[in-house]
Amino acid sequence: MLISLSIRRNKLILIKKLQEMLKIKIAFLATVVLLLFSCNTKSKEEKTTEIKTEEHQHSESETIQLNNGEKWKVDDNMMLHIRNMEKDVVHFDQEKGTNYSLLANKLKTNIDILTSNCTMKGQAHDELHKWLVPYIELVDSFSKEKSANQFTEIQNSFLTFNQYFK
């Protein structure tokens, strides 16, 4: 009888863990889909064409470029969510936080809001995506492994963001 209860409890725990993993995968896929479809399709088509015609410059096109020596302007609505994420990261570091799961959830929530409210177009939009896509991958990796090294990479990502965007 006790063994049977123990087996049932273990099965329930396993089911809950599998459900949590499924939720994380669904959230990540939803974020990727939103990122791909919520923004200007025309600029993506132009970017794809550019990559196909200039394959030798593919690596250069993935490097963020300044706007004639100036930082790119990010729409206020989008900047709000980026700054919220940056504040969460700074606060976590200042408080010597250890609850990586909580931070990862906050970052993912802001990413979801950011990507679902994409309002930018043109070159500024394309340059922002050069930062945003790797950042989303960092946060996704961080949400799974929750390590101090990944946290440092996220901090460094905001240093890069602030070099190219205002």
Q: What is the mean pLDDT of each run of 10 residues along the chain (166 residues)?
A: 70 76 74 61 44 37 88 94 96 89 94 90 93 95 89 96 96
- Return the C-alpha torsion angle 60, 63, 69, 74, nearest 10: 140
Using alpha carbons only, what angle is made at residue 42 by residues 29 and 39, rounded to the nearest 5 degrees?
A: 35
Sign of the Cα pseudo-torsion (76, 77, 81, 87, in order) = positive
DSSP string, 20-69: HHHHHHHHHHHHHHHHHHSS-HHHHHHHHHHHHHTGGGHHHHTS---BTT
| pLDDT at site 86 | 97
Please report, as a single letter, which amino acid is at residue 23.
Answer: K
pLDDT of res. 80: 94
What pLDDT shows up at residue 5? 65
Q: Taking the complete model, does pTM exceed 0.75, yes or no?
A: no
What confidence tens digit (pLDDT) does each residue in 111-132 have? Answer: 999 999 888 899 999 999 999 9
Q: Give the pLDDT of residue 18.
A: 73
How far is the C-alpha of 55 from the C-alpha of 37, rounded, in Å?
24
Cβ-contact 72, 124 below 8 angstroms: yes
Q: Which pLDDT score, from 0 to 100, does residue 6 have?
A: 67
